[in-house]
Amino acid sequence: MKHINKLFIVLAVLFVTSCSLTELDLQDNPNAVTPENAETGLFFNAIQLNLANLFQNVNGTTARVSRQLAMTGGNTYENAFAATTFNGAWNIAYADIIPDIDQLIVSTETEGSEVPHFAGAAKIIKAYTLMTMVDMFGDIPYTESGQGVVNPSPIADGQSSIYDAALGLLDAGIADMGKDSPPISDNDLFYGGDATKWIKLANTLKIKWYLNVGSGSGANGSEISSAAANAITTVGDDFQFNYSTMRTNPDSRHPWYADGYENGAGIYQSNYFMWSLTEEKEMMDPRTRYYFYRQDLSPEEEIDAFTLDCGGQNAPLHYGNDQPFCHLEGGWWGRDHGNNDGIPPDDTRRSVAGVYPAGGLLDLDQGASSANSGVDGALGAGLAPIMLSSFTHFMLAEAAITRGTGGDAAALLEEGVSQSIAKVMASGGAQAEADSELLLPSEADVDAYVALVMSQFNSAGNDDDKLNIIMKEYHIALWGNGIEAYNGLRRTTFPRDLQPTLEVSSGTFPRLMYYPADYLNLNANVSDQRNLADQAFWDTNPAGVIK
């Protein structure tokens, strides 16, 4: 974190996320980092910043289909997103991250003085990028990509072959990080040059790799156990991008903070996700006041047809008896899944992202507007939770049931929930210290919540019921990370009983996302847009099982 502010001024000149060009039509981008205009360290800085941009871009769509955020762009999956929606992620990966990494690897491995830790970290980031792009889009260019005008229309490689390449990069990255190297601490925005933490990240990504690839087969248990022996298991090893409080030139705050704490609330929170924390169990989740901030503590008392046209109506017949509908009591104001109604004058009623992970306000019953020109809460100094220790424990709990690893699923679940709550509550900082203890969860409250989850788990009737509880708690802990929620949903079909779309006909749940418009329009070897029913190679669940 301490390196970010001093780097942003330099990188503002060098680092521009392309919005219209991809490597498929790129010749010489004057804004790109090149060997002629940057040192290896600045290459690495740009790669890391672009990784955070890629993560947030992908999170914006996957969080909506997985019900972490409200899906408001359309009332069916087909019209909720467009091909142009995905241009940003595509361009960041193909015009920025991958070419910069490839050049960095070449330069570090051919210079007079090698810096294998730069190469190792870059290979691990490239592996994550490739896996993410496959998880989103399936078959994509790889072996023929990056050739510019020599080959402006690279063919798409098979998904599994790209995943295999990613696994090879993880192993190569681990090997590089195990070598003696000049320090990279001044340019390492994630781990401050700590090679052991990069190795733990690579092993954690291998757990994810083996979970996905073994989906439906019960395979890869021994490989998962081997990777888990040196993975991210404590909060100090978390792989997260830390945003700063800088408001302009450039705005380096968490994007959700800029959305909700400047001129008005923008993103609609998901009624379903907030209900999961506030009403679904017999007690409020200890993370609730950290995840969300309410601008109005009782907006439901002022509902009319103009501000909320579903107010006073009965839930649709296709909603389950226990599903939330329209609005929640207590000011947790969002939207239902697939509600694409117009925008009413509810800017001062919508709940916004809280102190975790957005760096916003801790909800202390203020009931005041968040649109205050960015002077409230943690001022946007939030984080991008890319791969956390709690995630590792949830993945290993899943693997204990589905992959035969022999792990103790109950103990792993308990540790995952406990670590998630502790990390989230630590984000409250001075805001929490300044408030009445009566509003925030006590140690006894946390213990009671964990005990409730474990009681439900231990009384579950079969492995599917147990897995459903694991994936539900993982889904909650993943707040701010839509891609892993999307992966978990496709990999296991859990958690059950997600809120359906507001309309009876939801369309086709996107087992893969639309190909980006830039890819379709600029690559002569791509003629047809994909069907949303197309599945990732590792997604072995039946068609139509996810709604």
pLDDT band, very low/low/confident/very high, at 113 (cuts 50, 70, 90): low
- What is the amino acid identity at position 347? D
For 255-492, which CATH class? mainly alpha
Indicate whether 395 pLDDT > 50: yes
Q: What is the mean pLDDT of the chain?
A: 90
State pLDDT tens for residues 236-281: 999 999 999 999 999 999 999 999 999 888 899 999 999 999 999 9
Burial bucket for residue 469 (CB in 10 Å: 0-12, 13-18, 19+): buried
Indicate whether 139 pLDDT > 90: yes
4-231+509-522 has which CATH code?
Answer: 1.25.40.390
Q: Do residues 261 and 374 lie in contact, with contact meaning Cβ atoms separated by under 8 Å?
A: yes
Which pLDDT does position 1 carry in this prediction?
44
Burial bucket for residue 479 (CB in 10 Å: 0-12, 13-18, 19+): buried
Burial bucket for residue 456 (CB in 10 Å: 0-12, 13-18, 19+): middle
Indicate whether 108 pLDDT > 60: yes
pLDDT band, very low/low/confident/very high, at 519 (cuts 50, 70, 90): very high
Q: What sign for the dihedral angle of Cα 31, 132, 175, 143?
A: negative
Indicate whether 79 pLDDT > 60: yes
pLDDT band, very low/low/confident/very high, at 110 (cuts 50, 70, 90): confident
- For 185-210, what is the mean pLDDT? 97
State pLDDT tens for residues 153-188: 999 999 999 999 999 999 999 999 999 999 999 999
Q: What is the dihedral of CA 118, 123, 128, 132, to 10 degrees?
A: 120
Q: Among candidates 80, 101, 98, which has minimal Cα distance to 89?
A: 98
Indicate whether 494 pLDDT > 60: yes
State pLDDT tens for residues 303-348: 877 788 888 889 999 998 788 999 999 999 999 999 999 888 898 9
Q: Which two tokens stand for residue 545?
A: 């099982």
Indicate whether 291 pLDDT > 90: yes
Whole-model pTM? 0.92
Indicate whether 96 pLDDT > 90: yes
Ranges 31-35, 115-119, 127-131, 279-283: which has the least confidence: 31-35
Distance CA(213)–CA(369), nearest Å, equals 46
Distance CA(325)–CA(463), nearest Å, equals 30
- 345 phi, psi to nearest 5 deg: -80, 70
Which pLDDT does position 30 carry in this prediction?
41
For the chain, what percent of residues have pLDDT higher than 70?
92
State pLDDT tens for residues 353-371: 999 999 999 999 999 999 9
For the chain, what are the domain ranges?
Answer: 4-231+509-522, 255-492
Which pLDDT does position 85 carry in this prediction?
97
Distance CA(422)–CA(347), nearest Å, equals 31
- For 494-500, what is the mean pLDDT? 95
Neighbours of 507 (CB within 10 A): 17
State pLDDT tens for residues 8-60: 433 343 333 333 333 333 334 444 444 444 478 888 999 999 999 999 999 99
